[in-house]
Amino acid sequence: MTVRIGVIGTGAIGQSHIERIERKLSGAEIVAVTDVNQELASRIAATYTEGARVYNDDSDLIAAAHVDAVLVTSWGPAHEASVLKAIEAGKPVFCEKPLATTADGCLRIVEAEVAHGSRLVQVGFMRRYDTGYVQLKHAIENHVIGEPLMVRCVHRNPETPESYTTDMAVVDTLVHEIDVLHWLLDDEYESVQVKFPKKTKHAFSHLRDPQLFLIETKKGVLIQVEVFVNCKYGYDIQCEVIGEDGVASLPEVPSIHLRSAGRSGMEVMQDWKGRFVDAYNEEIQEFIDNCKKGQEMTGPSAWDGYVAAIMSDAGVRAQASGEKESIELKEKPSFYNYKVTEVSR
């Protein structure tokens, strides 16, 4: 059985998922697409699929009988409505981040899903599928380093366009650490604070860069995340967990070692796109596999999308206040409980 997927939004990320489903992954095909730009939708359908039908809007696509599952890759403000419609239709839905642009919107999706009675939603946080993070999680769960006490993360990009603003350091950049760390630690966030070091001359005048986020968890773990998006030298993701018995860190991105021109070392990746390409494949393959077996989604949940929204709001408040901002979550439905600690592979 092949899973028949409809895609809402055929921009860059939509195209990338369409291509991976059609050419790289197993068990699914794209049978329907839609986009506010209908001409683009048609062109993408023609380029990558074997006759995917172009729909006028998300409602029609979701309702279509030949669509088994839905990918939401439209722009952020449109996510909530599409996801709610998919839940209403009882169809599995993979939604790129953000799940919704507000915490309230995320809550509405959570409530709809709980009312539906089974998990239909997977949010597009891909880091949990990266083999490095999976190895880190295994190390923690197998008590290789004892209880985690601190986590130190680095999120560096070589540069940003002028349109990148200070709050995007939270909403677009830090959000990846926000999602992966509470999964990694099997813990919940308590507070977030921001420190602004001396600003790099390489950032546009309106942007505070770098920033250092200090996040505390319910269990008392202290997380530091350096976000430095104009670091010039490359794209660099680091994560180190300091435990009672040892320290475990993400591996370096594998790259040939060179000794030449007076230096010994390797190239640093310049473009984030290559860093998590295997993780993108894994997250979508897991979505397809779950659809195929008719079982609940096991990836990042609507609740995780809600947590990311609440944390992002607090992070932006912390940028303005300079103070430690508390994290206040609604009661977590027991519906979501058992999935948090699960390692997908």
Query: Within positions 252 to 281, which residues make up the interface with its own copies, using CB under 8 A?
Result: 252-268, 270, 278
Note the maximum CA span of the chain. 64
Please give the Cα distance from 218 to 202 (Å, whole number): 37
Q: Which is nearer to its own copies, 80 or 325 (CB)?
A: 325
Q: Nearest distance from residue 58's CB to its own copies, in Å?
A: 26
Q: Binding to its own copies (CB under 8 A): which residues in 19-58?
A: 21-27, 50
User: Pick from 39, 245, 328, 331: which binds its own copies (CB under 8 A)?
Assistant: 245
- What residue has token string 């449109």? 78
Cβ atoms within 10 Å of 186's Cβ, excluding its own = 15
Question: Is residue 249 a contact residue for its own copies (CB under 8 A)?
Answer: yes
| Nearest distance, CB of residue 209 and its own copies, angstroms | 9
Applying CB under 8 A, the span of 116-124, 145-153, 302-310, 335-343 interacting with its own copies comes to 145-153
Sole residue written with tokens 């993408």: 44
> 80 and 99 in contact (C-beta within 8 Å)?
yes
Q: Does 161 bind its own copies (CB under 8 A)?
A: no
Give the start-end residues of each E strand in 91-132.
93-95, 121-123
Stretch that binds its own copies, among 3-11, 68-76, 82-90, 219-227 (CB under 8 A): 219-227
Q: CA 304, CA 340: separation in Å to the nearest integer? A: 9
Q: How far apart are the first and last CA of the chain?
A: 23
The helix (run of H) or strand (run of E) holding residue 44 is: helix 38-48
Question: What is the chain's alpha carbon radius of gyration, rounded to the nearest angstrom?
Answer: 20
Per-residue string for binding with its own copies, 167-206, x by CB under 8 A?
Answer: ----------------------------xxxxxxxx----
Query: 65 or 261: whose CB is closer to its own copies?
Result: 261
Token pair, residue 295, equals 């079982």
Amino acid type, 168: M
Footprint of its own copies on residues 277-336 (CB under 8 A)? 278, 285, 289
Q: Which of 42, 59, 102, 135 binds its own copies (CB under 8 A)?
A: 135
Which residues inside 220-239 make contact with its own copies, applying CB under 8 A? Answer: 220-222, 224, 226, 228, 231-234, 236
Count of Cβ atoms closer than 10 Å to residue 268 Cβ: 15
Residue 71 identity (one-letter amino acid): L
The minimum distance between CB 281 and its own copies, in angstroms, equals 9
Structure tokens at 129: 């599928």
Q: For the CB of residue 273, give the shortest distance to its own copies in the complex, in Å.
A: 15
Instruction: Please report, as residue ranges, which positions from 67 to 126 form the binding site for its own copies (by CB under 8 A).
Output: none
Residues 7-26 that bind its own copies (CB under 8 A): 21-26
Tell me the angle at which helices 175-185 and 131-141 cross, rounded to the nearest 10 degrees. Answer: 30
Q: Coil, strand or helix: which one is 216?
A: strand
Residue 141 interacts with its own copies (CB under 8 A)?
no
Question: Got the DSSP string for 294-315?
Answer: T----SS-HHHHHHHHHHHHHH
CB of residue 44 to its own copies, shortest distance in Å:
17
State which residue, 254 or 334, has the beta carbon closest to its own copies.
254
Of positions 118, 131, 337, 341, contacts its own copies by CB under 8 A: 131
